[in-house]
Structure formats: C-alpha cells, structure tokens
Amino acid sequence: MKIAVLPGDGIGPEIVAQAVKVLDRLQADGLKIEMEYAPIGGAGYEAAGDPLPEATLKLSQAADAVLLGAVGDWKYDSLPRDQRPERGLLRIRKALNLFANLRPALLYPELASASTLKPEVVAGLDLMIVRELTGDIYFGQPRGIATLENGEREGINTMRYNESEIRRIGRVAFDIAMKRNKKVCSIDKANVLETTELWRQVMVELAKDYPEVELSHMYVDNAAMQLVRAPRQFDVMVTENMFGDILSDCAAMLTGSIGMLPSASLDANNKGMYEPSHGSAPDIAGKDVANPLATILSVAMMFKYSFNDAATFNRIDHAVKKVIAAGYRTADIWTEGTSKVSCSGMGDAVVAAL
Ligand code: NAD
C-alpha cells in the first residue's frame, strides 16, 4: 500500500504525525505500507512556488491513496488567487478526479455533552454526507473579478453541473444507502436554481434503479435548519459541492467538534484522498493542542474504501472508541471530569489502544 503523505499547513503536520504513528504501528504488525512525503498548500508554495508542486501531484497520482492534513494560513491571503494554498487542494481533487466526498458524522455517546446541542437531540446520531467535489460553483467557468465599463468591479462565479456528473455522485449515495438504512435525502435549491432543478430530476431518475431506497428531497435552507433541529431523521444526505461544504461543517458541530470528523474523497475506482473535514486551524497551530482523531479516523476510512480491509478499519475505529470511553480528550472536546491530553498525547493513546 503506497501512501502519499501531504501534511500541508497549520495544524496539518501535527495531526498527520499522529495518523502516521497509527500507520507505523500497523506496519510493525505486518501490514506492507510505504509512505512518502510531499508538500502541498502554503508548504508547496514555500518549497516550489506552487501550492500543488508537480512532484507532489506525480507522487499522489502514483500512490494507492493520499493522506492529507490541511492547507491554508492567513499569511498567504495577499497572494494571487492561483498561488494560494486552497487552490492546491482544489487542483489535486480535480486532477485525481476525486468527485465523491464522504463525510460521516457519528456521535460517540460519551461526547454527547461536548456538542453545543442538547444531548437528547444528538444522541445516536449516525449520518453520512455525500458531497460532490469536482464540479459546481467552485470550478465553473467563467469566474473572476471583472471591471465594468463604468469602472465598477463585478465578481463572477458560475454554478454548473451536467447530468453525468450528477448521476455518478447520486449512484455513490444510493450504493452507500443500500449498506446502511436505505434512506437518501437529496439536498438542492430546485425552487430557484436551474442547476439544482436538473439535480433533482436526475436523482428521481436514478432512484428507479434502487427500489429499496427511500428518496426524499429537501431545500438546502431547510436542511440546515433540520440538521440542528432533528439530525437523526437523516441517513445519507447527497448534495452538490458548495451546499455540502457548508452543511458538513454544520454536521460537524453535532458531533462535538470538527476535530472528530474524517472524510474520504474517492474517484471512480475507489482510489482516494483522506483528510479531516476541518481546515488548518492557524489559531492553534504549533501548540500541540489540536484534535488528531479526525485524521486518524480518515486513515481508518482509507482501509475501508481504498484497501478494502474492513478488519483494519474496525481495529482503528475500536481503538478510537476505547480512548474516548477511557476519558481522554483534547481541548476541543474536553468537559469537566475527563482527562485533557495534547495532540501527541491523543495519538499515543490511540496507538496504545491499538
Ligand atoms: P478551520 O477548520 O481551520 O478552523 C475552524 C475552527 O475550528 C478554529 O477555531 C479551529 O481552531 C478549530 N479547529 C479546526 N480543526 C481543529 C482540530 N483538529 N482540533 C481542534 N480545533 C480545531 O477553518 P477556518 O478557520 O475557517 O480556516 C483556516 C484555514 O484553513 C483557512 O486558510 C482556510 O482556507 C483553510 N481551510 C482548509 C481546509 C482544508 O485543508 N481541507 C478546509 C477548510 C478551511
């Protein structure tokens, strides 16, 4: 298993180091894992003047899976847009054709009180957000900031999807639902946006291939409200790029902290990039306080989705559950009566539990 390791910026290197400890431990137990590092984001810009250096892309293309920390730092905000860290992330997703982003939001019972919502609202939460990742307004052309004839500036982005892009992400969602509770809620804004009117039509057509799955539709504004009102009504939510970006952060808070949320981004052959759902958290970078569990759980997803190794997925998953049950908490999920640990302390605890 060849893994390209791209730590990135901010807390990226700290959290990835904990995930690598887990991989080292699995390797010591006999799994054949090769890891090679490369810079991305601000680190890529510093190393090669490009947020996605050619060598990083080549390494990632040759690997069986990519482990990514996070990219971004405020100090790069004044760079031209195509040199900013976040462009590196968008470009690697596009170059590897990672169109399906899976973001499970699962509440560990012991963390119910770490959520800002009432425990009875979030208890038992287990939902999967399937987000389209390579289309929509984040990639659509034309885009830019133009100057009009009267000298006023105008910002332009273009929301667009073709039906094959919608169908392939829809299929991923229906396939996942078949292995879960057989419910798909498709999120759109079909009342005002033609792009998502087409989205809804394609989902309805696709549902005919999955008679066992119950398909429902919800407007994105209502979905945001329902996620905090009654999140357990959802099993699989499928949505386009921008809505998914926003709703998955909202879902993160249901679980107590964005530091708990892993993600997998897959191509059509299940090659994937695995990264926490959060960003580079420059406010806490370098302090050894970040929560590494989202990154460690992303490694677990790597075994499930790219390496087809359910046993290793379960092993990592159980180790994390054990550590939470034993009361270890990083600052973001700490509550009275539990033991506060650092980022590296949490990594060590998971390795010990493995
Ligand atoms: P963020 O996710 O980095 O941070 C939001 C808040 O959550 C911060 O208070 C942060 O301290 C906290 N947080 C995030 N991860 C945490 C963890 N593991 N443990 C504990 N607390 C954690 O989002 P932001 O502040 O909006 O963005 C910061 C930078 O990250 C920006 O440059 C942005 O573009 C970038 N970003 C990158 C990604 C990515 O790499 N996938 C995603 C989102 C934002």
Asked if 77 and 210 sit in the same domain, the reply is: no
Q: Which domain holds residue 31?
A: 1-99+268-354
Asked if 273 and 262 sit in the same domain, the reply is: no
Asked if 121 and 258 sit in the same domain, the reply is: yes
Asked if 239 and 276 sit in the same domain, the reply is: no
CA distance 36 to 5: 6
Asked if 118 and 259 sit in the same domain, the reply is: yes
Catalytic member of 175, 245, 288, 309: 245
CA distance 280 to 76: 13
Q: Assess whether 221 carries a catalytic annotation.
A: yes
Residue type, 309: D
pLDDT one-digit tens code per residue, 36-53: 999 999 999 999 999 999
Mutation to probe ligand 1, out of 6, 68, 275, 278 (largest number of atoms < 8 A from CB): 278
Distance 276 CA to ligand 1 centre (A): 10
Asked if 225 and 304 sit in the same domain, the reply is: no
CATH number at residue 302: 3.40.718.10
259: nearest Cα among 247, 275, 277: 277
Q: b/e string for 294-314 if b means 16 or more Cβ within 10 A?
A: bbbbbbbbbbbbbbebeebbe
Average pLDDT of the chain, as a whole number: 95
Asked if 125 and 257 sit in the same domain, the reply is: yes
Band of the pLDDT at 113, cuts 50, 70, 90? confident
CA distance 1 to 272: 12
Tell me what pLDDT residue 167 has: 97
Which pair of structure tokens corresponds to residue 120? 């009875």
CA distance 227 to 223: 6
Catalytic member of 64, 126, 175, 249: 249
pLDDT one-digit tens code per residue, 60-98: 999 999 999 999 999 999 999 999 999 999 999 999 999
Among 266, 301, 320, give the residue marking a domain's end: 266
Please give the tally of structural domains in the chain. Answer: 2
Asked if 186 and 173 sit in the same domain, the reply is: yes
Distance 243 CA to ligand 1 centre (A): 18
Asked if 239 and 293 sit in the same domain, the reply is: no
Q: Assess whether 138 carries a catalytic annotation.
A: yes
Asked if 259 and 279 sit in the same domain, the reply is: no
Band of the pLDDT at 255, cuts 50, 70, 90? confident
Among 235, 266, 297, give the residue marking a domain's end: 266
Which residue has the least CA distance to atom 12 on ligand 1?
281
Query: Which atom from ligand 1 is nearest to the alpha carbon of 275?
Result: 41
Asked if 55 and 14 sit in the same domain, the reply is: yes
Distances (CA, A) of 194 to 197, 200, 324: 5, 10, 45
Cβ < 6 A, ligand 1 pocket: 11, 15, 70-73, 86, 89, 258-259, 275, 278-284, 290-291, 294, 332
Catalytic member of 45, 138, 210, 328: 138
Asked if 247 and 308 sit in the same domain, the reply is: no
Query: Which atom from ligand 1 is nearest to the alpha carbon of 281?
Result: 3
Query: Which atom from ligand 1 is nearest to the alpha carbon of 292?
Result: 18
CA distance 200 to 158: 19
Among 202, 233, 266, give the residue marking a domain's end: 266
Q: What pTM did the predictor assign?
A: 0.90
